[in-house]
Structure 1
Amino acid sequence: MSDATAALQAAEHAGRWKADRGRAPHYSRALFSAGWTCVACPLDDCDWHHDDPVTHPSDPAELETRVREHLQSHDLVDFLRSLQTAREATEAVRESSDRAWDVVSLHRLRAIHRGEHPTTDPVAQMLSAALVGTAEHEDVRRELTALSEGVAGAQNIASGSR
């Protein structure tokens, strides 16, 4: 894969990532479903983007050139700062996951001390399923949706920190 292709793929990924997180006013899911592709700067603090209609796409070589020219406008320090921020965010997620696994371990050990099988504790079961991403976690989401319907303020509870 050439550097230009990698740069374009990173820009396409950044456009989708920023849209999913509601970054900058020009990003929206509606834009993508209406037949637009967005390439964006992968740096978090940069709002540079190029929206490309799917029906009349830009020449791929021209688009790669445009992306590379933009990326070259950034100083190396910008990329290093972005990498450091990503590293810190990744570490925070890892630490949060470790704390959640501590809770799973605590509930499993409590079950053992009660003379039960370690996987009988329902809290440990649900948290483990959420951390691993098993299908059982979808049961939790369905129950959250069902319980939050018609309850004032429940949307904030059900959405958590997402």
Structure 2
Amino acid sequence: MENYKIENYTNPWGLYNNISKRLKLGHLVYDLLLKSIRLVDHELLGEILKSELVEPEKKSNFRIPVLTEEWLLKVFDFEDKFNAPNNMTVFTSKRNGLKIHKTRNGFFIAITVRENYSIMGMTGSHVSKPMILTVNELLDYVFLLKRDDVSFNERDIDKINRIISLH
């Protein structure tokens, strides 16, 4: 188990060098050889572990680059509405009501996290919204916040490969 580092928060992309550490069954990956999105099952997870540990130069499965509006609207069935006073687009899930804010800095869960701190005798608080970088992170947040287990079958994966362009 890795220890938490501040870089995990300030530069989270570094956490994705080896995707096997971030994958769960039911997540999605992009297969470079097949040029398609695949569903992570036991067999695929074994292949990914083997390729990262034994033959990293032959690695063919990668994280899906980033969460996009296309994913939210076409795959996850969100509605979008521009909020002019806050200069952001608010995406609302038709399925479970989860709200996601899109600003020029990216996608954020529409909740506020407040962390109190005390450093060298000074106290204060830090307020932030959790950023969503990848589709798999969205799946994790949906389960964590709404207890909604979004899962895909082979027919869903075929549809996703038709409507989402990653090439």
TM-score range, shorter chain: under 0.3
TM-score by length of 2: 0.26
Question: Whose relative contact order is higher, 1 or 2, with alpha carbons under 8 Å and at least 6 apart?
Answer: 2
TM-score by length of 1: 0.26
Higher-helix-fraction structure: 1
